[in-house]
Amino acid sequence: MFTKILIANRGEIACRVITTAKNMGIKTVAVYSEADKDARHVMLADEAVHIGAAPSRESYLLADKIIAACKQTGAQAVHPGYGFLSENAEFAKRVEEEGITFIGPKHYSIAAMGDKIESKKLAGSAGVNCIPGVNDAIESPEKAVQIAQGIGYPVMIKASAGGGGKGLRVAFNDKEAFEGFTSCRNEARNSFGDDRVFIEKFVEEPRHIEIQLIGDCQGNVLYLNERECSIQRRHQKVIEEAPSPFISDATRKAMGEQAVALAKAVKYQSAGTVEFVVGKDQSFYFLEMNTRLQVEHPVTECITGLDLVELMIRVAAGEPLPLTQADVQRNGWAIECRINAEDPFRNFLPSTGRLVRFTPPKATMWQADTKHLMGVRVDTGVQDGGEIPMYYDSMIAKLIVHGTDRLDAIAKMREALNGFVIRGVSSNIPFQAALLAHPKFVAGDFNTGFIAEHYSQGFAAEDVPHEDPSFMLALAALIRRKSRERATALSGQLPGYTVDAGKDYVVVTLAADGKNAYTQVHVDAFEGASGSACVHVGEKRYNISSNSRLNDIAIFGTVNDQPFTAQVERGTAKNPLALRVQHNGTRIDVLVISPRMAELHALMPFKAAPDMSRFVLSPMPGLLVDVAVVPGQKVQAGERVAVIEAMKMENVLFAAADGVVGKVLAAKGESLTVDQPIIEFA
């Protein structure tokens, strides 16, 4: 067994590998870029080596620096995590040639299966059903359009070396095929250093189901059940679960055996995943093989009780697998939500900056611990006060729950999301909560088009209807009552001017358009010691009890004898006196005031936001990589005007209406802030 390994990665996956290595008594070496010098994975490792500037092409993608760091520290093996160099066959080969063990498959397996074009040819020769398409690299956007017309729309344009949703577009017409090909090539070149692109038929209403494999150097390969990964947005997974609520035992066995046969054909060692697209009739087609550990591996660890990272390390050290196919378990149900730094209310645009508050829900399961299951686990590479840089992907954390069945897992996940506090950057937690509450998701009735179908116009606060909105008003009233009660105890109050906590309030629900709602609330039976009260909202009555302090964001308690978790904080950007209440994905901003103050508040004039329609604004922090217009140029609605790169994704900005460009206010190569003007129309 190794005594020291280097993790050639960053973020939560680097922390994940370090945890298992420490449990095994193995020392660890972290590598870091300039942007990650204070990152959590650097602090957790026994040693850390600086390998370059912030952009990944100047640090984490430099094989020479990774190998040099191994030699410098005496690391005997390299774990690549996922992304970056994890599926780079040349890197794996070079590592082995330097006498360092690559904790992953052999380079020839990566070369055979990591290349999306060649892997399809191999799968076809092995008798695996493949999706119709052209598996040879395409030279030009014009050729891409011609091929797409031949296959028939819709088609999927895909980078050969792609992964994680990068270098992938679905086109429904010639224009989308032309533009999608160009964007795919650019993303693939920037993310993977390989701009080959191919096209295949896009199967409508498909399920994305993958089989987890583990193989050793003795020729044994096992499948560790499946993962359901159909809840995707822009081809990036949002929620994963294991097992799938869709496939039968017979389909599971057939997919597993086919995946094993494919892996054995390329002498596969280590952990890997074979991805399938599955039709309504449970017919399945090979998509690709990921020759690495997957982001969503924790859900498999929950239902099987296996530490996949430990198995990878042991297999790389030459040990045989410690179990047979018959030993593979399937206990309970696990769900993972990817918590990303993006703003769901601004079309999921990336959000970067400092984590002012980062308080995950209380964990009862931990990485590399297969004994304590049936609970909540948080995998993350960040911490309070840390930075979310714009150079890497947007994932902040992975929230994993394990329940006795699917409904139990959903309930645990909803409660865990309620208590996940993230401030300083926006996160997709409200969207995750909405998905988990959607009747079709709860019923298991979904496919990869679920988000596009149900949130085709984007995501807005009203897309999360709360099952009992009066509860949120009652909670706000109780928090205000607590605050007023504390104020009554202040010393030095003048006679006749002492604070009266009162019992009658009006909760003003603040609306962006100024059309506020006013609700009468009565609070009685208040007890400061227990933090309890009876709150009346119309005909409804809420007996709420909570010992959470006034400065706590996460509020834990009971309402009518049922436990709840919610978030309440004082002050918003627009109103420092408001309370922001969040529960089950719904967020409201309210004022809790006296009836007389409510009468006066209703008379206040509404101040509308300034008209910025003449400007093209940067919707996110990022790098301006292209400005496609010049002053004086006539532009039509829908015409491309600029391209911003953030978190490894290209975001194209289009003109909202016809017009003439007056000024270009930002230069190519400039770092932009949110809402920074780029172009002004005359």
Q: List the catalytic residues.
A: 288
312, 24 Cβ separation under 8 angstroms: no
Q: Would you give the distance in Å from CA 580 to the centre of its chain? A: 24
Going by C-alpha positions, the residue among 118, 121, 178, 124 that lies closest to residue 148 is 178
Q: Where are the beta strands (DSSP E) in 385-456?
A: 387-388, 395-403, 421-423
Can you tell me the distance from the alpha carbon of 505 to that of 598, in angstroms, rounded to the nearest whole number? 9
User: What long-range pairs does 163-172 form, CB within 8 A, spacing at least 24?
Assistant: 163/83, 163/87, 163/192, 163/290, 164/82, 164/83, 164/236, 164/295, 164/393, 165/232, 165/234, 165/235, 165/236, 165/237, 166/191, 166/192, 166/648, 166/649, 167/191, 167/192, 167/197, 168/235, 170/202, 170/235
Can you tell me the distance from the alpha carbon of 454 to that of 232, in angstroms, rounded to the nearest whole number? 12
Which helix (H) or strand (E) segment holds residue 177: the answer is helix 174-192
| One-letter amino acid for residue 144 of the chain | A
Q: Which two tokens stand for residue 326?
A: 């018959």
Alpha-carbon torsion (83, 88, 91, 97), positive or negative: positive
**Residue keyed to tokens 């998509």:** 287
CA 514 to each of CA 469, 518, 591, 605: distance values in angstroms, whole numbers, following the listed order: 19, 12, 13, 9
Q: Residue 197's beta-bridge partner residues?
A: 159
Q: Residue 134's beta-bridge partner residues?
A: 199
Give the number of other Cβ atoms within 10 Å of residue 353's Cβ.
Answer: 16
Can you tell me the distance from the alpha carbon of 355 to that of 568, in angstroms, rounded to the nearest whole number? 18
Rg (alpha carbons) of the chain, rounded to whole number: 27
241, 399 Cβ separation under 8 angstroms: no
Q: Indicate the SS3 state at residue 139.
A: coil
| Burial class of 622 by CB neighbour count within 10 A (0 to 12, 13 to 18, 19+) | buried
Can you tell me the distance from the alpha carbon of 39 to that of 30, in angstroms, rounded to the nearest whole number? 10
**Residue keyed to tokens 């296996």:** 306
Give the number of other Cβ atoms within 10 Å of residue 491's Cβ.
Answer: 4
User: What long-range pairs does 515-520 form, CB within 8 A, spacing at least 24?
Assistant: 516/601, 516/602, 518/598, 518/602, 519/470, 519/473, 520/595
Can you tell me the distance from the alpha carbon of 265 to that of 72, in angstroms, rounded to the nearest whole number? 37
Can you tell me the distance from the alpha carbon of 169 to that of 188, in angstroms, rounded to the nearest whole number? 12
610, 663 Cβ separation under 8 angstroms: no
Going by C-alpha positions, the residue among 6, 20, 435 that lies closest to residue 231 is 435
124, 151 Cβ separation under 8 angstroms: no
Can you tell me the distance from the alpha carbon of 465 to that of 523, in angstroms, rounded to the nearest whole number? 25
Going by C-alpha positions, the residue among 288, 291, 285 that lies closest to residue 128 is 285
